[in-house]
Amino acid sequence: MQHRIVVLGAGYTGAFAAGRLARRLRREDAAITLVTAEPDFVERVRMHQLATGQDLKPRPLSEMFAGTGVELRLAKVTGVDVDRKTVAVTGADGDGELAYDTLVYALGSGWNPRGVPGTAEHAHEIASRSGALRLRERLARLDAGQAVVVVGGGLTGVEAATEIAEARPDLDVALVAHGGLGDWLSPKGRAHLRKTFGKLGITVHEHTAVTGVEADHVTTAGGEAIPAAVTVWTTGFAVHPIAKATALEVTGTGQIVVDETMRSVSHPDVYAIGDAAMAMGPGDKPLRMSCASGIPTAWQAVDAIVARLTAGKLPNVPIRYFNQCISLGRKEGLIQYVTADDRALPGALTGRLAAVYKELICKGAAWGVANPTFGLPARRRRVARAQAATGSAVKASA
């Protein structure tokens, strides 16, 4: 009988995991099902580009996985029963249930309003394609001189503010940061960030907490009202709530607690990867929610699953960081070199070369996900290309 592997979520981590599983396991031995509510692969690291009117290359998942043996199930996950080893889904064909022998949980995360009054009603998010498209439509309707406030001084906020300011220099763009601007960067990185913000005319409110969002302004803890025709909320991510409703051992924020192979510490037939996992990195520090963490966790989980199914050697490659890649519009970038545990080193690459470097990283990540047949035998690659050309999808062998 085939070993049934169900992968939940087709973001960077889920799609990468499904493709790597297909490469490393024989179809007669394993049936791989990828469950996703989106028919296309979403390049989440480019949502700030989508929001400012740029068109992204469509990447239909049916074409990406044609010929791989991965069965694509377009449906929304509504529940997971880890005792019965089933997943409840609902899609165009109604409600259903999938049974698994091994589950790879990669449902990821979404925006985090943090309970601040007015965010749900008035703020925009770019943690999802739908959110970015709503923001895109709203920005397109703004007249010159109107104010856009980005709340959150992390990587997402910095990229959103600079992208909007570059694309719409006629708008009054501001960033509200709880700490100092780029305070996690090296002195060289901070200096370049401030210089770029200055060139783009972005106003920065540092060491400021937002306590409320209204239709035309945000309110700070100090009582200041900052005008905002549009508020973009980028204060971090919240994980998908389904895991917290299961018997899995999770953290207070709902992340699944895993060991060094990304295996659940409470249910050994479940693996969690990406933002959904509470995984420890160098220095016994939790990995941060990011693509930089997600892909390595997917790699680790897949190799561990394959090793356990084939009596092979478990992976023993520590997950570590090398740099933080930040786009500052289409013409500027910042590559901050970091230690293994993600602390800034003195060195940083800046300017146009850094922008090109960041673009190559984004393209490389998307290519790795969009080419799951890379490494397959030549005959299977030819079949995959032919089926992709006709738009047909192949399911795992029965």
Contacts of 389 (CB under 8 A, 6+ apart): none
- Per-residue confidence (pLDDT) for residue 1, from 0 to 100: 87
- Report residues of the chain scoring pLDDT below 50: 376-398
Q: What was the pLDDT predicted at 381?
A: 41
Evaluate whether the domain defined by 3-110+238-319+371-390 bears CATH number 3.40.50.11810: no
- What is residue 392's predicted lDDT score, i.e. its pLDDT? 37
Q: Where are the domains of the chain?
A: 3-110+238-319+371-390, 113-233
Q: What is the pLDDT of residue 382?
A: 41
**CA neighbor of 10 nearest in space, from 366, 394, 388, 376:** 366
pLDDT of residue 387: 35
Q: What is the pLDDT of residues 220-266, one digit of tens each?
A: 999 999 999 999 999 999 999 999 999 999 999 999 999 999 999 99
111 dihedral zone (left: phi>0; alpha: psi -120 to 50; beta): beta
Distance CA 232, CA 226 (A): 13
Q: What is the Cα 156 distance to its own chain's centre?
A: 11
The answer to whether domain 3-110+238-319+371-390 and domain 113-233 are alike in fold is yes
Superfamily of domain 113-233: FAD/NAD(P)-binding domain (3.50.50.60)
Q: Is the dihedral of CA 367, 370, 373, 379 positive or negative?
A: negative
Cα separation, 104 vs 281, in Å, equals: 20
Q: Give me the pLDDT at residue 23, please.
A: 93
The pLDDT value recorded for residue 373 is 52
Write down the pLDDT at residue 112: 92
